[in-house]
Each structure stands twice: as structure tokens, then as C-alpha cells.
């Protein structure tokens, strides 16, 4: 019996988290100090995307050089695939790495975690965007070289250190922060569904009160600070609202999804990767629409659905299939997406009812219709108000 099967059989609750989480403006300057504090040493292998090197290479030289921590940098190849993981493993062996560091977006961090797990080495995650809740997790999402979802790899432990430099994140494309909010949006609703269904979370146990409440706080933070954080990101500046949204996207969502559980929203994302038209859309953008599909499938009250639609509209997340690049969707295509979302082991089965292919297919079309109707309504109201103002007496 596996550890997860044993936890399920005993009805155990399980909560997991990274060993240490550090966030703030210019946090990278403390990387060497934080490594030493945790007893982590070089040689390091830093797997980095181009933007991470551009913004941080000089900072690494100083913070690591001052503490005599040796390191090498491997440029990320662009996709968290089996081939890229093997390339990282070979490079880590070549340089004699004792610690892996991932610096970049979610796929960079997933690759670094996979390499570290393969070599049984500690891993540090330094996200340069707040585009997903990947940094804190003990899993990697594996894609084909073409970007099609293949599977998840689960690890024995979470990262040893997650270090989030909000100065760097403020310089990232605004779209990435918005996509991270789309990913985080699903956290509360998926954890709630898995909890009501008494389904296991991502580490095989039942959800704790801590996970459920962190997931709820994540949602409340998005509603409260999302719009203001987007405004700050558009200016490339760090504000308290931006700090709170980065924490929501990264820490609250990370703890909430892994220890709370996933449901339909992420399964719909996985299904949507089957459509080539969606491959240029970010993970969180597809998850945002998947959240709307989940709410429709669950028959949630209109006021809640309207609240979610209002948030999607306010921050600029897609709420229609067209927003994901799908100008048309046939019944056959919708069924293919639903079938992939309902594959054995998918988290769509964590709902407190049986999700059928027909019901999920119909929810895809219904969510799109609701999103289109909301968009038309808001655009109509926006065009009417200026006209009324112009016609009103002085």
C-alpha cells in the first residue's frame, strides 16, 4: 500500500508547504544568506530563463559571490518536457551540483524540481513572474515538446526555499500577473469541491481547516486587490496591493491547491491543451475559463457566478472560448476536450457528484454562452452611459 493509499484508508488530513518562503522587493539580494541559513551550499546549478538572466545575473554574482557559493547557469529550453529534464540532469551531474535553483516561470521551476528529485538534491524556486502557483508545490507538470499536457510528477517534499522578488515580478509582462490570478481564482472553488466530496488533496490526504481557509483568503484577496495590482504592474511598480496579489498567486494558491485539492477547473485546462488554438494561452488563462465551467457544472447561484464574471472582466481574464483562441467549437471538439478532462486520475472526479462527459461538454458551451452574454451586457452599458451623460442637462 502506498503512502497516499494508507492516508486515504485512515482518513488522515495532510498539509504540506515549502520549508521557507521569502517575498519582497529585491529579495534576490538575500539569496546567498537564505541558502546559508538553510544549510544549502554550492555548487549550484541555476536553471534560468532569459528574463531571469537579464534581471538577476549581476545580483547572483554579488549575493552568491560574497558568500563563496559557486554556481553554473543552464539556459532553459522552453518546455518542461522529459527531454529538457534529462538535459538538466546531465548538466547537474557534469558540474557536480549540490543544490538546484530554478529562476523563471512555472515551467522553469517545474524543470528544476524534476531535476532535483531525480538526483535527490534540495531545490530552490525563484519565480520571475506570478503567473501560477507552481513555486511552492511538490509536483511538476510535464508537457510534450509541442506543449501538450502529458502528466504530473509528484515528489516526496516541497521546495526547500521559495524566494519571490517582487521588483522582478513588477517588471514582468502584466499578462503573467493576470494569468496568475486566473490560476489562483480556481483555488477556493476546487478546494471547496474536493472538501465537500471528501476527496484527497494533491498529497493524498483530506483537507485541513488551514488549507480551506487559505483557499478562501486567496479568493477574497483577488477580489479586493486584483484591479489595483494590475494597475501597479502596468506601471512596473511595487505597491502593497501588488505584494498581496503576488502572495495570493504564489503562496496562498500554492498551499490552497496542494493541501486543499483540485477539481474540474484544472481538468478543463488539461482538456483545452488538446486544442492547438489554445497553445499560446497561459495556464492561468485556461484555468480561469475552467473555473467558470466548474461553477456552471455545479449549478452555483447566479450571484456568485456574476461575481466571478465581474472579476474576470475587471482584470482582463478570458471568459469565453473566443478569448482562448477558439473561434468555433464543434460538438466533437467539445467532447474531445471533455474526454481528456475526464481521463482516469483527473481531478474532475473530485467533485461531490459523478461528472459525465455529456454534462461537462454542455457546461463548456453554457459557460461560453454566459461569458458572451456578460461581455455583451457590459459593453452595452459602457456605450450607453457616455451617451446619457452627454444628453443630460447641465
Does 133 qualify as catalytic in the annotation?
no
Catalytic residue among 133, 165, 192, 266: 266
Choosing from 133, 165, 269, 368, the catalytic residue is 269
Pick from 116, 108, 69, 66: nearest CA to 92: 116
Q: Spot the catalytic one: 110, 133, 165, 183.
A: 183
d(CA 21, CA 307): 31
Q: Is 306 considered catalytic here?
A: no
d(CA 208, CA 195): 9
Q: Annotated catalytic, 269?
A: yes
Burial 374-393 (b: 16+ CB within 10 A, else e): bbeeeeeeeeeeeeeeeeee
- DSSP states along 326-374: -S---HHHHHHHHHHHTSTT-GGGGSSSPPPHHHHHHHHHHHHHHHHHH
| Element at 153 (helix H, strand E) | strand 149-154
Rounded Cα–Cα distance for residues 318 and 352 (Å) = 26
- Determine if the peptide bond prior to 132 is cis (ω within 30°): no
The CA-atom distances, in angstroms, between 379 and each of 35, 247, 316 are 51, 32, 14
Total residue length of the chain = 394
Count the neighbouring beta carbons within 10 Å of the beta carbon of residue 216. 17
Tell me which of 110, 160, 192, 283 is the catalytic residue. 283
- Given a contact cutoff of 8 angstroms between Cβ atoms, the answer to whether 85 and 44 are in contact is no
Whether 183 is catalytic: yes
Which residues are known to be catalytic? 183, 266, 269, 283
Amino acid at each position: 500500500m502506498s503512502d497516499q493509499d494508507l492516508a486515504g484508508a485512515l482518513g488522515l488530513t495532510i498539509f504540506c508547504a515549502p520549508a521557507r518562503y521569502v517575498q519582497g522587493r529585491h529579495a534576490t539580494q538575500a539569496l546567498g544568506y537564505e541558502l546559508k541559513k538553510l544549510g544549502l551550499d554550492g555548487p549550484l546549478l541555476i536553471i534560468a530563463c532569459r528574463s531571469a538572466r537579464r534581471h538577476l545575473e549581476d545580483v547572483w554574482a554579488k549575493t552568491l559571490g560574497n558568500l563563496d557559493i559557486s554556481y553554473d547557469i543552464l539556459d532553459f529550453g522552453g518546455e518542461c518536457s522529459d527531454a529538457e529534464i534529462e538535459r538538466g540532469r546531465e548538466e547537474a551531474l557534469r558540474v557536480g551540483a549540490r543544490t538546484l535553483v530554478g529562476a523563471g516561470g512555472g515551467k522553469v521551476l517545474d524543470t528544476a524540481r524534476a531535476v532535483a528529485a531525480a538526483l535527490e538534491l534540495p531545490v530552490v524556486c525563484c519565480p520571475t513572474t506570478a503567473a501560477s502557483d507552481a513555486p511552492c508545490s511538490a509536483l511538476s507538470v510535464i508537457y510534450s515538446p509541442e506543449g501538450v499536457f502529458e502528466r504530473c510528477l509528484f515528489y516526496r517534499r516541497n521546495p526547500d526555499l521559495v524566494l519571490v522578488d517582487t521588483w522582478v515580478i513588477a517588471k514582468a509582462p502584466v499578462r503573467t500577473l493576470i494569468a496568475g490570478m486566473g490560476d489562483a481564482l480556481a483555488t477556493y472553488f476546487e478546494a471547496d469541491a474536493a472538501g465537500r466530496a471528501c476527496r484527497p488533496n494533491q498529497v493524498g490526504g483530506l483537507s485541513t481547516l488551514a488549507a480551506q481557509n487559505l483557499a478562501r483568503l486567496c479568493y477574497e484577496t483577488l477580489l479586493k486587490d486584483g484591479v489595483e495590482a494590475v494597475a501597479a504592474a502596468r506601471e512596473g511598480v511595487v505597491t502593497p496591493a501588488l505584494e498581496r496579489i503576488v502572495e495570493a498567486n504564489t503562496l496562498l494558491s500554492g498551499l490552497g491547491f496542494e493541501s486543499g485539492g483540485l477539481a474540474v477547473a484544472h481538468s478543463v485546462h488539461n482538456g483545452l491543451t488538446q486544442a492547438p488554438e489554445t497553445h499560446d494561452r497561459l495556464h492561468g488563462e485556461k484555468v480561469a475559463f475552467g473555473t467558470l465551467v466548474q461553477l456552471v457544472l455545479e449549478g452555483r447561484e447566479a450571484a456568485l457566478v456574476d461575481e466571478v464574471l465581474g472579476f474576470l472582466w475587471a482584470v482582463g481574464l478570458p471568459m469565453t472560448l473566443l478569448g482562448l483562441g477558439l473561434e468555433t467549437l464543434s460538438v466533437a471538439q467539445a467532447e474531445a476536450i471533455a474526454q481528456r478532462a475526464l481521463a482516469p486520475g483527473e481531478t474532475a472526479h473530485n467533485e461531490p457528484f459523478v461528472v459525465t462527459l455529456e454534462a461537462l461538454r454542455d457546461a463548456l458551451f453554457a459557460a461560453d454562452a454566459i461569458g458572451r452574454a456578460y461581455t455583451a451586457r457590459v459593453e452595452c452599458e459602457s456605450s450607453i452611459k457616455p451617451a446619457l451623460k452627454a444628453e443630460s442637462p447641465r
